[in-house]
Amino acid sequence: MGFYDYEAEDVRGNMRSMCEYEGKVVLVVNTATKCGFTPQYDELQSIYEQYGPQGFEILDFPCDQFEHQAPGTNEEIVAFCDANFGITFTHYGKIDVNGEHALPLYQYLKSQKGFAGFDEEHPLATIVESMLERTHPDYKETPDIKWNFTKFLIDRDGNVVERFEPTADMDVVREKIENYL
């Protein structure tokens, strides 16, 4: 199976196939509204506005698995994103990205690109690493999603070509997107 074979429920409860995005460059992101990385929504929206017309999509998957930083219903999350960041890219319903209830799409994404390591230059890197070392000492050896705002880049052919941890420099993310457009 490949990226286009999966589906997910959007915020309105409709099942949507990833084949809708065939021929586009796609960034899949697990998000949270109460996280130190939440300001990345601004940068994501800017990237979407710049590259959307060129066949680029962002798929937002809220996830409450990391310190309950995505509280609220799907509607509350969308309202927060609209009010605070003016998000216009696609919101999907809240999901699990790890564990037995992980969305199959995320199981697939993790199987294609494992943990890429944190950008040590990011001010939150040592905080996230410290928390993970206490709760999951083997976190570096697993492909699991480590925190909110992990991103997967899918090329126009449906291949998972990059994984960016939440500490990745957003200029690097932007550059990689440009390369695949």
For residue 65, count other CB atoms closer than 10 A to its CB.
Answer: 21
Please report, as a single letter, which amino acid is at residue 147.
W
For β-strands 25-31 and 56-62, DSSP reports them as parallel
Q: Which of 19, 35, 63, 81 is catalytic?
A: 35
Q: How far apart are CA 138 and CA 78, in angstroms?
A: 34
Please report, as a single letter, which amino acid is at residue 25.
V
Tokens 């130190």 locate to 36
User: Which DSSP string corresponds to 64-128?
Assistant: -TTTT-S-S-HHHHHHHHHHHH---SEEB--BB-SSTTB-HHHHHHHHHS------TTSTTHHHH
Whether 35 is catalytic is yes
Active site (catalytic) residues: 35
